[in-house]
Amino acid sequence: MPLNSEFLKLLARKNARTTVGPSAARGMGPKGTIASACVFLEGYDLRKIKAGSDEAFQLKLDQATNDLMRSLPCGARHWGSARKFFNLFLRSALYDKYICQHYGLDILEPWMELPLDSHVAKGLKSEPEGASLPRWHTVIGLLPEASLAFQRVASEVAKRKKTHRVHLDLLYWRGDHMANQRVQRTDAAGR
């Protein structure tokens, strides 16, 4: 299928609907939360997030987070949920070859945030750089200040691991990092 506006619209819809599903939104609001988030993300113009610096990107990310939060139903309007949904959406767009190329999202990759949840928080706290992180509560209780602390640690960890922080979710998803550490310790003990 040629890369035209209809094809991009279909990709955006798929991206939005597969990004914010029951697993990502568990415990984050009343019925309709997922549908509302998907409607917002399907209609979000990725050209609006483009920026020429980390600071400019953060301002646009904050605006998108606030806009998404306002679009959620009452009882689901939490900054932490909206930020997680939007970061998942952006990461998914980055990972989609057609969307990424069309919107030039690769320029944003170094600035994109790590989508936060309890698994990611636990992973970051297990890293040497994460020793002083605040206690994790919930995604819906996440406030910008705590998010910033976790993102700073994620940046430090990513730098050490020679990647970008947005990709650390692949390591921390569902505690996979702990299994990898156990395997590495077992391998080292067997030598």
Q: Residue 183: which pLDDT band, with cuts at 50, 70 and 90?
A: very low
Give the count of domains, the chain: 2
Task: Choose the weakest-confidence range: 7-16, 20-29, 136-145, 180-189.
Answer: 180-189
Residues 90 and 126 occupy one common structural domain: no
3-state secondary structure of 86: helix
**Average pLDDT of 62-76?**
94
The parent domain of residue 170 ranges over 113-191
Q: Residue 176: which pLDDT band, with cuts at 50, 70 and 90?
A: low
Rounded to the nearest integer, the mean pLDDT of the chain is 88
State the Cα–Cα distance between residues 44 and 63, nearest whole angstrom. 12
Does the model's pTM come out above 0.75?
yes
Q: What is the dihedral of CA 181, 183, 189, 191, to 10 degrees?
A: -120
State the Cα–Cα distance between residues 151 and 154, nearest whole angstrom. 5
Residues 19 and 87 occupy one common structural domain: yes
pLDDT tens per residue across span 15-38: 988 988 767 777 766 688 889 999
91 neighbors 169 (Cβ within 8 angstroms): yes
What pLDDT sits at residue 188?
A: 46
Half-sphere exposure of 152 (CA within 13 A, CB side): 12
What pLDDT sits at residue 177?
A: 52
3-state secondary structure string across 104-161:
CHHHHCCCCCCCCCHHHHHHHHHCHHHCCCCCCCCCCCCCHHHHHHHHHHHHHHHHHH
Residues 190 and 101 occupy one common structural domain: no
**Average pLDDT of 158-182?**
79
Residues 68 and 161 occupy one common structural domain: no
Residues 163 and 89 occupy one common structural domain: no
What six digits make up the tokens of 3?
Answer: 């890369």
